[in-house]
Amino acid sequence: MFILPLAPLPALSQPALDFETQLTAALADTGQERGLLHCGGLFRAFGEVSADGTELSDLVMELETDMAVFATVVRENETGETMALAMETVAPAIESVAVLYLSRFRSNHGATGTILDPDLEENLAYCRALHDRLSVPEG
């Protein structure tokens, strides 16, 4: 089982600590859907930096959509909210997380020439594995 830390870890650098603190704050009003929103935001951020119409942009759009649907269902079940009301929490939360990831991508690119760092690579692997676990195989 994969676990995605959403709280600051002592071993993280200061920029990573700031990111984790901001991420925790962005998802403060969420419940059991928190990890799904985190992943939805990560996928949206990758979509923002991917060229439109490419295989990668299509994939991350699909992954983000799936995470949003999963998060909405989880929120509905946890809170008893209608789908429309659950979506009013899910959509802005994913957007807030995406903005944080995009800022981190820019910071990483300015410092290293690449948008990823080891923590983001780990988050991406976790989110792909989570998506794969929750998805129904086609066929």
**Domain residue ranges in the chain:** 29-132
126-137, pLDDT tens digit by residue?
999 999 999 877
Confirm if 120 and 108 have CB atoms less than 8 A apart: yes
pLDDT at 33 over 60: yes
User: Average pLDDT, stretch 65-71?
Assistant: 97
pLDDT at 17 over 80: no
pLDDT at 12 over 50: no
Over pLDDT 90: what percentage of the chain? 75
pLDDT at 24 over 50: yes
What is the pLDDT, as a whole number, of residue 90? 96
CA separation for the pair 29, 71 (Å, rounded) = 13
What is the pLDDT, as a whole number, of residue 44? 97
- Long-range contacts of 87-91, Cβ-Cβ distance < 8 Å, separation of 24 or more: 89/29, 89/30, 90/33, 90/37, 90/40
Stated as kind and residue range, the H or E segment containing 130 is: helix 118-134
What is the pLDDT, as a whole number, of residue 7? 35
User: Average pLDDT, stretch 10-35?
Assistant: 79
**Residue type at 76 in one-letter notation:** E
What is the pLDDT, as a whole number, of residue 128? 95
User: Average pLDDT, stretch 43-59?
Assistant: 93
CA distances from 27 to 90, 92, 94, 96 (A): 10, 10, 9, 8
Confirm if 59 and 8 have CB atoms less than 8 A apart: no
CA separation for the pair 46, 80 (Å, rounded) = 31
